Amino acid sequence: MKSWTTWTATCFILCSIGFMPLHTSAVDSVEGTSLTQAQVKATNTAAPPAPELTSKSSSFVTTISNWQAALAKEKGFEDWQHAAWKSYPLGPGTHGWVIILTNQEQEVGYMIVNATDAGGYRLTEYGTGTSPLFSLATLYRSLVQQELIPSSTAYTDFVQNETIVKDRLYMDSLTSVWKIKLEDATYYLDAKSGEVLPLKEDPAPRLKDELVSASDLSQGAQTFLRPAFDPYERLPWIEGTPLPVTSLPELEVALQQQGTLTYVTELYDEQVTMPLAVLGYQQWVHGDTYLALDHEGPRYVLLDTSLGLGKLYP
């Protein structure tokens, strides 16, 4: 197995379940009718068109606020209760957004949201910590450290500089990169750690997710978590045999029987091997189950998808 050392507007005031998070949204990359236009009265012979799903629609704002409230009740998400959030489009053609949450001007987490085929929203991934996925602060620090931008460049100037093209690419679970265009050069950086990646073109999705059902976090979650560890302290994932884990029951058994579990996935046509410590899982009563991984902070990725894209080692 190849291994590669990995990486390190208008403001709406919302009141939801006892807190008042603020949010703004960046310009959507999805073009289409507005919510009002989509609700134009249909003819007697045709069904009314579904409303366009954008980050400015009321359904989007309500959904994100409800998810934030639900997650804020879970252990480890306490900083989300009074957090503000801002959405940024993912693209191109993904009909998705990253939500960055901040509390007292500090980033505290993120959500990856996709529009479903049925007209709702799906929570594809989420996480906590001060280094969220697609953090502009992390990207800025990395570009300065790599001497790709001058250290004299202020952070606010970097964020507002439209000559530096900053595209967010989320292809599938753990295939998430920044595509940065600086003058005549293009660079790809890991969206979590900010590490420069050995890519020459946009990565392709490894699996096509069928986004049919919307996510439901309304009834709480059952969570199992254990402490993080360094997967490089022990290396059975290099030449060892993976465990036959393909479902939640099998994962539960493995977590009970093994001291530690390491999740390993091959990225970018096997140019990068990513080993991550397994923290556990979070199973929503009327929703999906997420595998909890440690990658510059906790990342919760859809269990079924992640098991299809990687392997677990004891």
What is residue 10's predicted lDDT score, i.e. its pLDDT? Answer: 36
Give the full edge-to-edge strand order of the sheet including 175-182. 165-172, 175-182, 185-190
- Average pLDDT over all residues of the chain: 85
Q: Name the strand (E) or helix (H) holding 137.
A: helix 136-145
- Residue 217 confidence class, pLDDT cut points 50, 70, 90: very high
Q: Which two tokens stand for residue 101?
A: 């949450």
Q: What's the pLDDT tens digit per position in 35-83?
A: 332 333 333 333 333 445 555 688 999 999 999 999 999 999 999 999 9
In this structure, of 1-5, 234-238, 239-243, 291-295, the range with the lowest mean pLDDT score is 1-5
Question: What is the reported pLDDT for 91?
Answer: 84
Mean pLDDT lowest among 80-84, 218-222, 235-239: 235-239
pTM passes above 0.75: yes
Q: Strand 298-302 vs strand 289-294: parallel, antiparallel, or unpaired? A: antiparallel
- What lies within 8 Å, CB to CB, of 277 at 6+ separation is 228, 229, 230, 231, 260, 261, 262, 263, 293, 294
pLDDT tens sequence across 10-39: 333 333 344 445 565 554 433 332 333 233
Q: In whole angstroms, how far apart are CA 286 and each of 36, 73, 196, 282?
A: 31, 16, 39, 12
pLDDT at residue 204, rounded to an integer? 87
